[in-house]
Structure formats: C-alpha cells, structure tokens
Chain A
Amino acid sequence: MNCESSRRLLPLYFDGELDPADSRAFEAHLDGCAACRQALAELEALRARLRDPAMRYAAPAALRGRLAAAMPAARPRARAWAALAASWLAAALLGAGAAGLWHDRQQGLRAQAGLTRDLFASHWRALAAASPVDVVSSDRHTVKPWFAGKVAESPPVRDFAAQGFPLAGGRIDYVGSARVPVLVYRHGGHLIDVFVLAAPPAGLPRQARMQGYGLRVLALDHAAAAVVSDMDEAELDRFARLLAQGGEPPPSR
C-alpha cells in the first residue's frame, strides 16, 4: 500500500469502518510511515478533545422534567409531577430503596397545601435529577447574569461561603406551573434550594417540615424566598437568618 491510498483509508481505519483485511494492510503501511502515524495521531488528539464532557451539552433538568411529565402513562396518575418524579427515579437508577422512600414522601406530600407541596416536590425532583443545578458556579457574578433572559427578573445572588454555606449554582425550576429561579447552596453534604418568589406567597406557612426536609419562608429584598433543605432545624434557621440579613453587602447593580 502506498502513502496516497493509505491516506484515503486513514479516516476509515480511524473510525473503525475498515474490514479486517484492509485494516491489516493499512497497519502494515503505518508501521513504516511516520507521516501517516502523525496524521493518525492528530485525528486521535482532535477526537479526545471533542469528546471532553464539557463539549457535550446535557439536557437541562427543567426540560427533562417537562418531557417526563409528558411521558405516555402506563397507568393513570394523579399529578404530572408524580409521573415525572417516578420516571426520573427510574432513569436515575436510584434503586428500590429510593423508590420506597419516594412512595413515603408522596404520602406525606398529600397532607400538605399546594404551594408547600410544590416546593418540596421541586427540591426532590432536583435531587433525583442528574444534577441539581443548571449553572455550576461558586461565583455570584456568574450565577446572576445566567438568570438574565431566562426569568423576568434575575434574583439577588449572595455567597455565604464564609459562614459555611458556599454558593453551588442555580437553576430554573417549576413550582406548580410558574418558572422560578432557584439558587443552590451547599452545607457539608446537604444541598439547600432557595426558591426566589416574585411576590410574598399567599397561603405559605413560615415554616414546614416533611420527611426530614425543612422549609423556611422569608422576605428577600422586594421578593420572598423559600428555603428547602434536609439540614437540621438549627442550621436551617441560621441559614434563613443569613439570607434575610443579606450577609455581605449585595453586589452593585
């Protein structure tokens, strides 16, 4: 095989589209040709870079949720989010233990009023998704602009890393049928969702607790925030106080 015909086969060899006999002939040429080896190495380097996970866009959690809710139902379901959560659990391969836990949570949810229930459901949905955030950043100057254009008003974003609650990122989520910006913080192994609500919500208790998860509702600038996490009560209160006080000065606007 000469170099010219070898170059023609090179991409096919590289893409695994050559039959075994041609592959062997190509490899025989490759052994004696530094130029072809170099060309092959270039293709390999390019592929390695293109296959970097950062080059592949993953479906946002909100889209996954919308489609899961539109999945053809194998059996009648009471609410769209239940269908959605159920299929997410299956998709997320959380196993039988988690499914049982979910069942318990569903029982608990029925006892709660609408909005409270939606907030807990949204938090659990995010936990069951591949990632609870759509934009990962500990930098509030990255997170705030990310929301621009996605929701009517970018929420105020503050970091409480110094107080032990670093910013992990943000996402847009559905609470009931409303699109709501969610700021996500971390505290040790706990994730904290802060739902930024446009108006102080009617019919939402100041606090609630369900299945080991807590809810705190507080005023936030001109809006309101609902905090959901599985932190213990004292930590949840501490975080809610920090959030209400604003911690460090807010970013200049």
Chain B
Amino acid sequence: MDLAARRTLVGELAMRQLDAAYNLARWLLGNDADAGDAVHDAFVRALQSAHTYAGGNGKAWWLTIVRHCCFARLKEHGRGRRFVAIDQLAAELGEAAAQRVLPNTAADEPEQNAAAAQERARLHRQLRGLPEEYREVLVLREIEELSYREIAQMLSIPIGTVMSRLSRGREKLLQALGANGDRP
C-alpha cells in the first residue's frame, strides 16, 4: 500500500473512532478545549505516522496516539488546570448527551428523569475524582470496551497491572457510590 492510501486509511480510522478519542481525551484532560486540541494534535500525528500503522487493531493504535497527546498537553499545562468547576457539571453532562440524542427528544426530557440525571452526575463526579491511573483503565475498559491486552499495549504496562488497576478502580468507585448512600 502506498503512503497516500495508508494516510487515507488512517484518517478514516481516526474519524470513525473520533468519539472514542474525544471521550478518552475529555476524561483525561477534564475540559473541552484541551480535549479538542489533544485530539486535533493526535489526528495530525496519526497522519504523520501512518506508515507505522500495520493494519489490524486500529482503535487501540489510534487511542495510543491520542493518549500520548493528552499527556503531552498535561505536561505543558504543568497539571494546573485539569478540571473545570463542579458547577459546570450539569452543562457537561448535557453536552455529552447532546451528541447522541436529537434535540426533539432531548428537549422534552420529562421531569422523572431528574433522579436518574442526579445519579449519573454523582457517578460522573466520582470517576472524575479518581486518580488518573484508575480513571484511565476504567474509561478504556468499561466505556471504550478495550480488552486487557489492548489496554496493556496502549499503556505499555503488564496485563497484571491492568488487572490490578481495574480492580482497584472498580472497588474505589463502588465504595464511593456506596458511601454516598441511596445506591440500590
């Protein structure tokens, strides 16, 4: 395959997995502006390194680049402004949902969903509050549905470490949610 074709392939892969990329970046960086910039950086880098893409598991390859760009950005900011204020939470949840729901259904959201929304907000807050190493594997495994092996390759860590971080992260989340009461 020539380089142009490979670049097209990589570009299409990145566009297909753009939500996955943005989701990872957004959870790692904590705000829209940085997440968008990191994904943009990653897109440029992915095209530049299209020759290293051997085909096969594209999602993990692409997310590895996204993750690198996120950490590069975190370093740049000296880890100073990672999270936006909690009072933006409602708006953020709205944003996340906005991409999946068409306005004519979302705008008429009935009041009875208020409790469910509160519940989601609490889980959201707890996951956000987790140390990065746990948050990262939880997002990759539970939300992006990557396997242990894929996560291990992405993070350059042994599979055993993926397992222990995942278990610890789940434990912490369950504890935090349980401690907050009214978990069914």
Interface residues of A (CB under 8 A from B): 11-12, 15-17, 42-43, 45-47, 49-60, 62-64, 66-68, 70-72, 74, 87, 91, 130-138, 142, 145-146, 166-169, 184, 186, 191
Instruction: Check B127 against A63 for contact (C-beta < 8 Å).
Output: no
**B163: nearest chain-A partner, CB-CB:** A11
Report Cα–Cα, A51/B108, bound state, in Å. 23
Selected from A71, A130, A191, the residue in CB contact (under 8 A) with B99 is: A130
B contact patch SS: helix
**A61: nearest chain-B partner, CB-CB:** B99
Find chain A residues with CB under 8 A from B69 CB.
none
Instruction: Check A54 against B120 for contact (C-beta < 8 Å).
Output: yes
Instruction: Check A137 against B40 for contact (C-beta < 8 Å).
Output: no
Instruction: Check A15 against B40 for contact (C-beta < 8 Å).
Output: no
| Residue from A16, A59, A63, A146 with most neighbouring chain B CB atoms (10 Å) | A59
| Residue from A57, A131, A168 with most neighbouring chain B CB atoms (10 Å) | A57
Report Cα–Cα, A138/B101, bound state, in Å. 14
The verdict on B98 contacting chain A, using a C-beta distance below 8 Å, is yes
The list of the 4 closest CB pairs from A to B, nearest first, reads: A58-B99, A168-B103, A59-B22, A57-B26
Report Cα–Cα, A147/B2, bound state, in Å. 44
Report Cα–Cα, A10/B65, bound state, in Å. 31
Report Cα–Cα, A166/B107, bound state, in Å. 9
If A12-B163, A131-B101 are given as contacts, then 7 extra A-B residue pairs at C-beta distance below 8 Å, sorted by A number, are A46-B177, A54-B96, A62-B36, A131-B103, A137-B107, A166-B107, A168-B103
Instruction: Check A142 against B15 for contact (C-beta < 8 Å).
Output: no
A-B contact pairs, 24 of them (CB 8 A): A49-B119, A49-B120, A49-B123, A50-B123, A50-B127, A50-B138, A51-B142, A53-B96, A53-B100, A54-B124, A55-B123, A58-B99, A67-B15, A67-B18, A130-B99, A131-B98, A131-B99, A134-B95, A136-B107, A137-B94, A137-B107, A142-B91, A166-B107, A169-B106
Shortest C-beta distance, A172 to chain B (Å), equals: 10
Instruction: Check B96 against A135 for contact (C-beta < 8 Å).
Output: no
Instruction: Check A56 against B19 for contact (C-beta < 8 Å).
Output: yes
Selected from A49, A54, A71, A169, the residue in CB contact (under 8 A) with B15 is: A71
Whether A138 touches B107, Cβ cut-off 8 Å, given contacts A17-B148, A50-B127, A63-B40, is yes
Find chain A residues with CB under 8 A from B22 CB.
57-60, 63
Selected from A17, A51, A169, the residue in CB contact (under 8 A) with B147 is: A17
The verdict on B70 contacting chain A, using a C-beta distance below 8 Å, is no
**B39: nearest chain-A partner, CB-CB:** A63
Interface flags for B1-35 (1: CB within 8 Å of A; 0: not) read 00010011001101110110111001100001001
Report Cα–Cα, A64/B167, bound state, in Å. 34
